[in-house]
Amino acid sequence: MIEDLGQRLNRPRFPRSAGYDPHWMIENWMGPNALWLLEWLCAELDLRPGARVLDLGCGRAATSIFLAREFGVRVVAADHWVKAAENWERIEAAGQAGQIMPVQAEAHDLPFAEGYFDAVVSVDAYHYFGTDDLYLPYLSRFLAPGGQIGIAVPGLTAELDDVPAHLAPHWEPDFWAFHSPAWWQRLWTRSGAVTDVRADLLEDGWRDWLVWSEATLELTVNDFARQVLPREIAMVRADQGRHLGFTRVTARRS
């Protein structure tokens, strides 16, 4: 029921996200609830008012709006697929024109000054471009020394050699970009580009993934969402958290 949506999506562990209209979130759907993941990620970051933050792979900029509102930071909202002009409309409508600058940019060709950002944040996007050994050394150049980087991405409890039978009917080759906290910890630590690397899995994250995806499927008018969500829901439901969840990784520029 639409009236119950706020209650259905109420997550006491994400109190800041509860202040955002769930219909607005569904309108701007691009994957598992971006604000919940961001709120979880920010618990491990120290974001001070006025800090310069790059929201990399920001999609429709809901996460950038959250960062500006909740922490008073200045955000560059960068995305490859979504045009800056589209995000600008949303940013202005949210009253954040003074705090957020939208940019259309590809993650390997960033048009920023080295050392410019105090933090780089990325929600449900980094696995599309950041799983190779060379990427973090490239990206970390845009951070000031000691600057923070944090990502939250779909992930695995542990690395898989093969697709488990219960996931096989739903598996897509792209899902090989999902990794465990231990995998990310190793990738980032041995890069030498960052220090103080921490990686963990969101406890019972699969339940949030399921509840959010089911609510979105019921209410969305987005054709792409209607196409992909039934399979995603079936997969997460079949798995029950045995393998799938969300990985958070944070570090500081060395």
Q: Which of 14, 17, 53, 57 binds ligand SAM (CB under 6 A)?
A: 57
Q: Which is nearer to ligand SAM, 135 or 189 (CB)?
A: 135
Q: Are 147 and 118 within 8 A, CB to CB?
A: yes
Q: Is 22 in the site for ligand SAM (CB under 6 A)?
A: no
4 touching ligand SAM, by CB under 6 A: no
Q: Binding to ligand SAM by residue 88, rule CB under 6 A?
A: no
CA dist 97 and 95 (Å) reads: 6
The stretch near ligand SAM (CB under 6 A) out of 94-102, 111-119, 124-132, 162-170 is 124-132
Beta-sheet pairing, 244-253 with 143-156: antiparallel
Residue 102 lies near ligand SAM (rule: CB under 6 A): no
Distance of alpha carbon 176 from alpha carbon 126, whole angstroms: 13
Secondary structure (3-state) at 156: strand
Least distance from ligand SAM to the Cβ atom of residue 195, Å = 25
Q: Figure out which of the listed residues 88, 112, 116, 128 binds ligand SAM, where binding follows CB under 6 A.
A: 128
Residue 102 has which token pair? 């939208």
* 75: nearest Cα among 115, 112, 108, 120: 120
Contact residues for ligand SAM (CB under 6 A)?
A: 30-31, 34, 57-59, 62-63, 79-82, 106-107, 123-125, 128-129
